[in-house]
Amino acid sequence: MNATAEKLRLDKWLWFARFFKTRSLAAARVATGDVRVNGERVTKRATTIGAGDVLTFAQGRVVRVVEVVGIGTRRGPAPEAQALYNDMTPPPPPPEDAVPVNPKFEGKGRPTKRDRRQADLSRARHLE
């Protein structure tokens, strides 16, 4: 394999790997400096990346950390795109505003009227 096939433009790779819907969206994200390659901020769309590079960027509300495993030749189907990277994104923290589930009701079907009133009271106490 020659050296040109082992490297690819950053914006093109992000598009190939299906992180962005269009190549222009990927290029715009890189141009604003929101993408880091191996911990260094990048603003050039034509920055070349290869296997082993680690990319960090925001996608929606999640900060994605991915390791480049391969360089694609096209923007193919999702399974082909997922083979291009190793996702190292940490799992999201559990939601803090979740109401605890009463173990009394788990797997027992519908609660009785008395059980429902007690659950409402415990929820009201929890929110205070």
The matching CATH number, chosen from 2.40.30.10, 3.40.30.10, 3.40.50.720, 3.10.290.10, for 8-87 is 3.10.290.10
Model pLDDT, residue 1: 47
* Residues 67/86, Cβ–Cβ less than 8 Å: yes
- The C-alpha atoms of residue 71 and residue 51 are separated, in whole angstroms, by 7
Model pLDDT, residue 120: 87
- The C-alpha atoms of residue 23 and residue 30 are separated, in whole angstroms, by 11
Q: Using the CB atoms, write b or e for 97-109: b if 16+ within 10 Å.
A: eeeeeeeeeeeee
Query: For the segment 39-57, what is each residue's pLDDT rounded down to a tens digit?
Result: 999 999 999 999 999 999 9
Q: What is the mean pLDDT of residues 30-38?
A: 95
Domain range list for the chain: 8-87, 94-128
Q: What is the mean pLDDT of residues 109-128?
A: 80
Model pLDDT, residue 17: 95
* 43 Cβ contact list (under 8 Å, min separation 6): 30, 31, 32, 33
Query: For the segment 71-99, what is each residue's pLDDT rounded down to a tens digit?
Result: 989 999 999 999 999 999 988 877 776 66
